[in-house]
Amino acid sequence: MDPRTLRSTFGRFATGVTVITCRTRDGRHHGATVTAFTPISLEPPLVQVALTRTAKAAGHLEGAPFAVNVLAADQVDVAMHFAGRPGTDPLPWLDGTSAPTLAGTAATIVCDPWRADDGGDHVLFLGECVEVRATDKAPLLFHDSAFHHLGRRTSETVWLGCQDDPHAGWFDGTAQFQPASAQFS
């Protein structure tokens, strides 16, 4: 598989932009811009962050608390700073109890380490959510190698979760189904 084609195809998936923050072993604040963030579970409350194995942050996250800072639409400069293109403005660091966080974000999720797994050329870090903060700020988005802002809603339909879940969907856990071929024979 051609890596450029694969990367371009992955880029068709619009994501939010996060900065993963943590402390280094000597206590300094460290951050990395990451679009590979995924909420995983409500019970227990888990999130996943995928970091390139060679990223400095991957070395700092092993067994360490971290924060997922969901950047607001007006934080492109913060995203660029933590992506390796620092600006001149001071960084909006906040000292957290277990991990440093950033001010001005759309949301912040502070996590205790849960586990780390092999993800090919990435390391997959699972974190247990121990603190969350959300604001009414619009998030910063990333699509086709560029930053974007959230547009107008395209529908008034509200997503309340997957209807394929037997605990919350169309059918309860006691429903039984027969193959269509058995019903019509």
Residue 184 pLDDT greater than 60, yes or no:
no
More confident residue, 177 or 144: 144
Across the range 134-145, mean pLDDT stands at: 91
Does 165 map to a domain? no
Does 16 map to a domain? yes
Domain count, the chain: 1
More confident residue, 172 or 158: 158
Predicted confidence band of residue 7 (pLDDT cuts 50, 70, 90): confident
CATH number, residue 7: 2.30.110.10
Does 8 map to a domain? yes
Does 75 map to a domain? yes
pLDDT digits (tens, 9 = 90+) for 101-119: 999 999 999 999 999 999 8
Cα separation of 118 and 112, whole Å? 19
pTM of the shown model: 0.81
Residue 8: its H or E element: helix 3-10
Does 162 map to a domain? no
Does 14 map to a domain? yes
Domain that holds residue 10: 3-152
Q: Which of 69, 46, 45 is CA-nearest to residue 57? A: 69
- The pLDDT of residue 54: 87
